[in-house]
Structure 1
Amino acid sequence: MTSNSEAGAAAAPRRILVVDDSSLVRLYYRAALEKAGFAVDQAINGIEAMEKCLVERFDLVIVDVNMPRMDGLSFLRALRGSAPEIASLPALMISTEAGQQDRDDARAAGANFYLVKPVSEADLLSHVALLAGAP
């Protein structure tokens, strides 16, 4: 028999942290993800994202490369070098940078997948489902 707290935890939606300095991009991702049943939080740079990851549980982080204060690559390196509970958090990097070196740098920093903006809603949701599971 499952307790109410276990049943509630099983029914909780997957939590996604969107890290991008563009409010328009965050709004686009948030709308698509929430419509698909995910719970979404946001951060405007890597410092804010790291602070959130240290105190909250997420199932996936979606991160941009170019951001003020702490860019996405630095954030992923910090995340991968942190406490075991969050070091293995799946990461989807989405950037306007489209070169092979950009992809290689993202993988070296700890990105599980790399997509180039603009990203369609279908591509976003298929990669999120692959990395975080269904909502």
Structure 2
Amino acid sequence: MRLCTRNEVKRVNPSVLIVDDSAAVRGFHGSILRNVGFEVEEAANGYEALEKYLAKKFDLLLVDVNMPKMHGYELIRQIREQELHGFVPVIVISTESGENDYLEAFRVGANLYLEKPVDPICLQLSAKMLTGIR
């Protein structure tokens, strides 16, 4: 039996689903994460994100709070109830900055809360930390 060497092991880039009703924000966050090796998919609202989550395993979710059709907190709550593909880390990225916003995000299952506008380096480091990539 032959073992694979380190150079023969194919690396798979971690996948992230970016959920925000603003195409500009999705593009900005996607660009930041593509620069450090993430495969990026986007959803414009919570319903679209839930459909994508049910169809595919993601390594990370970035979720806005205030969106049409399904609020970000409701999306996280439903994902945590399903845990269809096992545990997936969730970063909430929002303009909301009150203590109650943070508490609600963590209550429904978010792992991290970042305020917009997000610092690109902070987003990259947070995403890498939560997905375990170097």
Q: CA deviation at 1:98?
A: 0.1
Task: Map 1:1-135 onto structure 2 (within 5 A).
Answer: 1-2=3-4, 7-8=9-10, 11-86=11-86, 88-134=87-133
The percentage of aligned residue pairs carrying the same residue is 40
Q: Secondary structure at the match of 1:98?
A: coil
Q: Within 2, Cα distance between the matches of 1:68 and 1:121?
A: 26
Unaligned runs of 5+ in 2: none
- Maintained 8 Å contact 2:54/2:84: no
Q: 1:84 to 1:51 in 2, by over 3 A?
A: closer
Instruction: State the Cα distance separating 1:130 from its structure 2 match.
Output: 1.1
TM-score (norm 2): 0.91
Task: Check the 8 A contact 1:18/1:42 in 2, yes or no.
Answer: yes
Q: Could you list the per-position Cα deviations for residues 88-107 of structure 1 after superposition, in whole angstroms to 9, with x for gaps in the alignment? A: 21000010000000000000
State the secondary structure of the residue aligned to 1:16.
strand
Choose between structure 1 and 2: higher helix proportion: 1
The unaligned stretches of length 5 or more in structure 1 are none
Contact 2:59 2:131 in 1 (8 A): yes
The 2-side partners of 1:65 and 1:7 are apart by: 38
Runs of 4+ in 1 over 6 A off after TM superposition: none
Q: Work out the number of aligned pairs and report it.
A: 130
Of stretches 76-85 and 61-70 in structure 1, the one that deviates more from structure 2 is 76-85
| TM-score between both structures, scaled by the size of structure 1 | 0.90
